[in-house]
Amino acid sequence: MYVEQIYTGCLSEAAYYVESDGEVAIIDPLRDTDQYIELAKTRKAKIKYVFETHFHADFVSGHIDLAAKTNSTIIYGPKADPEYDVHIAKDGERFKLGKVEFEVLHTPGHTPESSCYLLRDQEGKEYALFSGDTLFVGDVGRPDLIDEKISKEDMAGMLYDSLNDRIKPLPVDVILYPAHGPGSACGKNISSETYSTIGEQLKTNYALQDMKREKFIKIITDEQTTPPQYFSYDIEINRKGYKSLDSIIKKNFKPLTVEEFEAEMENSYIIDTREHDVFEQAFIKGSINIGLDGRFAEWMGTLFKPEQLVILVTEVGKEKETIVRMARVGYENVNGFLDGGFASWIKADKGIDVVITIEAQELDLDLKLDKEIAVLDVRKEVEFEEGHILGALNVPLQNLAETIEEATDQPLHKEDKIYVHCQGGYRSMVAASILKKNGFINVKNIKNGYDSIKKSNLPIYSSTPVGSSN
Q: Where are the domains of the chain?
A: 2-232, 244-347, 356-469
pLDDT at residue 14 is higher than 90: yes
Residues in the chain, overall count: 470
Q: Which of helix, strand or coil describes residue 152?
A: helix
Average pLDDT of the chain is 94
pLDDT per position as a tens digit, 99-146: 999 999 999 999 999 999 999 999 999 999 999 999 999 999 999 988
Same fold yes or no, 2-232 and 244-347: no
Angle in degrees, CA 160, 200, 100, rounded to 5 = 85
Nearest to 79 by CA among 150, 163, 3: 150
CA–CA separation, 465 and 442 (whole Å): 30
pLDDT at residue 245 is higher than 80: yes
pLDDT per position as a tens digit, 254-308: 999 999 999 999 999 999 999 999 999 999 999 999 999 999 999 999 999 999 9
The CATH H-level (homologous superfamily) assignment of domain 244-347 is Rhodanese-like domain (3.40.250.10)
Written as one string, the DSSP assignment of 251-317 is HH--EE-HHHHHHHHTTSEEEE-S-HHHHTT-B-TT-EE--TTSSHHHHHHHHS-TTS-EEEE--TT
- Provide the strand spans (E) within 43-133: 46-51, 73-76, 87-88, 94-97, 100-106, 115-120, 126-132
Helices (H) and strands (E) in the chain, counts: 17, 26
- Which helix (H) or strand (E) covers residue 363, if one does? helix 360-369
Are the beta carbons of 62 and 245 closer than 8 angstroms?
yes
User: Nearest 5°: phi and psi at 227?
Assistant: -70, 150
Its CATH architecture, for the domain 356-469, is 3-Layer(aba) Sandwich (3.40)
What class does CATH assign to 2-232?
alpha beta
CA–CA separation, 425 and 201 (whole Å): 34
pLDDT per position as a tens digit, 371-396: 899 999 999 998 999 999 999 999 99
Nearest to 341 by CA among 280, 278, 255, 263: 255
**pLDDT reported for residue 466:** 44
The residues pairing with 75 across neighbouring beta strands, listed in sequence order, are 51, 87
Q: What is the CA radius of gyration of the chain?
A: 24
